[in-house]
Amino acid sequence: MKIKNQEDFWAGLMFVGFGALAIWLSTDYPMGTASRMGPGYFPTYLGAIMLILGAIVAMTSLKLGNGEKITPFAWKPMIMLSLGFMIFGWGVDHIGFIPALFALCVITAAAGQTFKIVEVLVMSVVLIAGAVGIFIYGIDLPFPLFWWR
């Protein structure tokens, strides 16, 4: 068995997965009846529809297609951008707005192909100054600037 269309095959499997997940999670919620639906009714049926449609997408991909392949994932940018965001989200309340922004700038910049430390530092300072000017002094967002608040 050869997969004719990899994109559709994996997309189909993904939908099957999401559908199954929705049905499984919905088992915690009362179903009710069609005339008096409980909180579980809608998600269970949506999950089922999704599972069936996903299976059709995946099965069709075995027969129809022009050999579409999935291009490789950009792991490094994915990890760096996620890490930068995570530190920012955690950081605003814990280490303050400015350090959190600095971490975000440097880490995301490292996701790119060229990383020149001086350039990145200058850019960080400019972005932080702009963000603090606009959001803290301009429109009074209530973020602590540093860990000592």
Do residues 105 and 71 touch, judged by C-beta distance below 8 A?
no
Q: Smallest distance, Å, CB 74 to other proteins?
A: 3
Q: Smallest distance, Å, CB 77 to other proteins?
A: 4
- Helix, strand, or coil (residue 1): coil
Angle at 119 between CA 138 and CA 129, to 5 degrees: 10
**Distance between CA atoms of 42 and 25, rounded to whole angstroms?**
12
Find the binder of other proteins among 7, 20, 31, 95 (CB under 8 A): 7
Do residues 40 and 29 touch, judged by C-beta distance below 8 A?
yes
How many C-beta neighbours within 10 Å does residue 91 have?
19
Q: Smallest distance, Å, CB 140 to other proteins?
A: 7
Task: Give 1 or 142: the residue with its C-beta nearer to other proteins.
Answer: 142
Q: Given 3-state DSSP classes, what are the helix, strand and coil percentages for the chain, each rounded to the nearest 5?
A: 65, 5, 30
Q: Smallest distance, Å, CB 2 to other proteins?
A: 18
Q: Name the site residues for other proteins (rule: CB under 8 A).
A: 7-8, 10-11, 14-15, 18, 22, 25-26, 29-30, 33-39, 42-43, 46-47, 49-50, 53-54, 56-57, 60, 66, 68, 70-74, 77-78, 81-82, 84-86, 88-90, 92-93, 101, 104-105, 108-109, 111-114, 123, 127, 131, 134-135, 139-143, 149
